[in-house]
Chain A
Amino acid sequence: MSTANVDRSGGGHAHHFESAEHEFDTSKFGTWLFLCTEVLMFGGLFVAYFIFSNLFPETFLEGSKYLDWKFGAVNTAVLLFSSFTMVLAIYYAQQNNNKKCANMLMITFVCGLIFMVIKYMEYTHKIEMGLLPGDMFAFQGAESSNLGLYFSVYYMMTGLHGSHVIVGMGLILWCWFRARKNEFNSGYFTPVECVGLFWHLVDLIWIYLFPLLYLID
């Protein structure tokens, strides 16, 4: 988010900012603006969810029965915990402790991995059953004639979310490398802060997806 090749160890900053503080603040502002775009992008899917679930309540009720809430609940806990370790990474960066910062980032990364493995297990199970989106829906014995639509919503929402988890994991790994090189200090930890904000947003979206997809009554 800033111009490269700036020495950060002694409060350095890119040439068009007044101070390191100014640069940090602006980077964070940019990140929040980017989060807004993410909210509205996912928002489109939420709007579709609410419209279709209002039009076809029985379809959505039936569809959610084929999802196992235990997977969803475990994944929620994993993501919440990863958010906690992510913010701890910032906490340790603020205390000039790059080693612990790196460890926390690694734990966050592993949590993301666990989330994706569980997601993978869920997906393969559904795909074997033929619970596929829209046109490809092949499950025999569905009561609702458009159950495929529910699974379209399910795959689009969790798929877009999962792709964000993967991107987030990549960014966290990048921060981990930089923390290993002792690049962060109490005056400069902008990448951890901004990646952290992104990771929390991914968590935030899952907080809503979990009850909406798994716990419909």
Chain B
Amino acid sequence: MAGHHQLNFKVLRNTLFALLSLTILTVLVAKPVSGFDAGMFNFVIAMGIASLKAGLVLAYFMQLKDDNKLYLGLMISCVFFLLLFFGLSFIDIISRAPVDSTL
């Protein structure tokens, strides 16, 4: 339901704890910090944790969970157009003559 959704203190507090825990987790699994190495999945793990945190902020702090789903649609379409922007530009850049790592 749109409009004045009543906030719940406990839910907000738990969200904060979850966010802080995930921050610690993302530091702990980072190779430069702990030496933990999952190979090519390092990036996926880091982005996965970041997206989980972003999801928590969106759902509870920004109240998307109980708000008009139109706003959720807006955010999703933004991400879609960004991926499109990246994808089509990147297709051009990787299919050109290759560039060596640093000039």
Contact = CB atoms under 8 A, between A and B. Distances in A.
Interface of A: 21, 24-25, 28-29, 32-33, 35-36, 39-40, 43-44, 46-47, 50-51, 54-59, 64-65, 69, 73, 76-77, 80-81, 83-84, 86-88, 90-91, 94, 144-146, 186-187, 196-197, 200-201, 203-204, 207-208, 210-212, 215-217
A57 B85 contact: no
Given A21-B3, A76-B23, A64 B90 contact: no
Contact of B32 (A84, A146, A217): A217
Contacts of A186: 4
B9 A91 contact: yes
Given A33-B74, A203-B57, 12 more contacts: A29-B71, A44-B85, A54-B90, A58-B102, A65-B32, A145-B102, A146-B103, A186-B4, A201-B62, A207-B57, A208-B54, A210-B23
In this complex, the member of B30, B50, B62, B78 whose beta carbon has the largest number of chain A beta carbons within 10 angstroms is B62
A57 B101 contact: yes
24 contacts: A21-B3, A25-B3, A28-B71, A29-B68, A39-B75, A51-B90, A59-B101, A59-B102, A69-B27, A84-B12, A84-B61, A87-B7, A90-B7, A144-B101, A200-B61, A200-B62, A207-B50, A207-B53, A207-B54, A215-B30, A215-B31, A215-B32, A216-B32, A217-B30
Contacts of A201: 62
In this complex, the member of B9, B12, B49 whose beta carbon has the largest number of chain A beta carbons within 10 angstroms is B12
A45 B26 CA distance: 22
A186 B62 CA distance: 18
A217 B42 contact: yes
Contacts of B26: 210-211, 215
Given A25-B2, A145-B102, A91 B7 contact: yes
Nearest to B49: A211
A215 B33 contact: yes
Given A36-B78, A87-B61, A55 B93 contact: yes
